[in-house]
Amino acid sequence: MTALRLSIVTVIAVALGFVAPPLASSAAEPAYIAVIAAGRNSSRLSLYAAGSEVTVTRVYRSPASTPGLSSFAADTAAAGPGAVQPLLDGLREHLGGEGVAVADVPVALLATAGMRRVKLDDPVAAREILASTRAPLAASGFPLHANRILPDTQEGLLAWLDANANAGTLDAPGKDIGIVEVGGASAQVAFRSPRTSGPGVSTVRVNGRDLHAVAVSYLGLGNNESRALMQRKTSGGGSCFPNNASGMDPVDYLSTSSMPVNSAQASYRGSTCGRAYADVINEVGRTYPREVRPRNLRNLAGFTGAHFIGLGTPRFVYSDFAIPTDADDRRALQIALRTTCKGDDAWLRVQALFPAGSQSFAETQCSSGAYLNQLFFGPTGIRLDPSRFDARAMLPGGDPSWPAGYAITALHP
């Protein structure tokens, strides 16, 4: 491991001299905002309080999620009652226990990649879903801050903002943190730009000043959508799944999908699977301007100076493979894939990674790992420098997120 290959904790605590910012005084009346993150698979509400400087603190999170808004495309009127009302009811109960008035807590509902896909496929359904979600928000007594689809570039930009506010690096361009986030439907990449405009450059305003970052969201390069496209291109993608010769459950991988994979006939082959995913990344990338396609991001100003961290799927995949946080993330992932997923009855080794009763992601562990390997390090992917990338970085304030970044812009305008 080179000197550059420091854990992000060391980078922050030592190189930056990071001191966790104090929270807002309990004696003062705090400012709040609630953000409903309406993702592809679920919707969840988080309540944020303003901290000092440009930080926010999550002080409440809905104990359970509700369905993602895109699941209401065939019954649009049910989106508000089914996805939003339970979250507002839970927030109201929490605030009552804290003695905080509903009128003091604006609520922002922001939908992401799932609703972007609905808007592309059925714009009328997208409008009707948002009309349905607006109704309970308007009747709730909470001030309405937003009820819309979050622009794709904002998802990465706001996660980048939260990561750097969290780490104390917003005023330290030489210690920049970049983010690579992989969700279900889309993948986001963001890093500070020394330029105020240009390919992929977006601007976010915080505390009265403008910050500039390259922020790109690739709809179709999320873990689930990339897998679905890979399967369509390869008649099922059996080379991305482990063999299950013993006949143990499951009989089929992805049994509820449109292209289940016979587990006994599956046979993981890293090179074949890798090429299939490289083709997927290339195909989706061609729908974007040449300068911001994944393989060309490294040519943009600011990329080589950033230390990237993984968000979303990478954190789970690396954790499930038990890859140490101080490992070479490219080499360690490739070794884990080869030693775990390849060979006769490899399913037994994959299954052993997951505790009993928590194996919902075991079936896709190998395909997800193979995809991340190509997206992060492959020739058509982002081509991250392993010495400047941490898939499981730990920041002092917890995992960065775009909802927290949105709260920063709302509470520290």
For the chain, first and last CA: distance in Å?
A: 41
Residue 201 falls inside a structural domain: yes
Q: Compute the average pLDDT of residues 171-193.
A: 91
pLDDT over threshold 50, residue 3 = no
Residue-level pLDDT at 113: 83
Residue 18 falls inside a structural domain: no
Residue 39's CATH number = 3.30.420.40
Residue that wins the pLDDT comparison between 355 and 127? 127
pLDDT over threshold 80, residue 50 = yes
Pairing mode, strands 144-149 and 107-111: parallel
H-type helices in 248-364, by residue range?
270-285, 313-320, 329-341, 347-351
Residues 256 and 346 occupy one common structural domain: yes
What is the Cα–Cα distance from 287 to 214, expressed in whole angstroms? 18
Beta bridge pairs of residue 57: 49
At residue 55 the predicted structure's pLDDT band, cuts being 50, 70 and 90, is confident
At residue 53 the predicted structure's pLDDT band, cuts being 50, 70 and 90, is confident
Q: Do 297 and 381 contact (CB within 8 A), yes or no?
A: no
**The tokens of 132 are what?**
């349905």
Residue-level pLDDT at 226: 97
Residue-level pLDDT at 28: 45
**Residue 221 gets which letter from DSSP?**
-
Residue 289 falls inside a structural domain: yes
Q: Do 83 and 38 contact (CB within 8 A), yes or no?
A: yes
Residues 123 and 185 occupy one common structural domain: no
Pairing mode, strands 66-67 and 42-50: antiparallel
Q: What is the pTM of this model?
A: 0.85
Residue-level pLDDT at 22: 33
Residue 305 backbone phi and psi in degrees, to 5: -90, -5
Could you list the residue range(s) of the whole structural domain that residue 81 is in? 31-150
- Maximum CA pair distance of the chain? 64
Residues 281 and 145 occupy one common structural domain: no
Residue 85 falls inside a structural domain: yes
Residue 147 backbone phi and psi in degrees, to 5: -150, 85
* pLDDT tens-digit series, residues 80-119: 999 999 999 999 999 999 999 999 999 999 999 889 999 9
Residue 12 falls inside a structural domain: no
pLDDT over threshold 80, residue 19 = no
Q: Compute the average pLDDT of residues 135-145.
A: 96
SS3 content of the chain, % helix, strand, coil (to 5): 45, 20, 40
Chosen domain end from 150, 177, 199 = 150
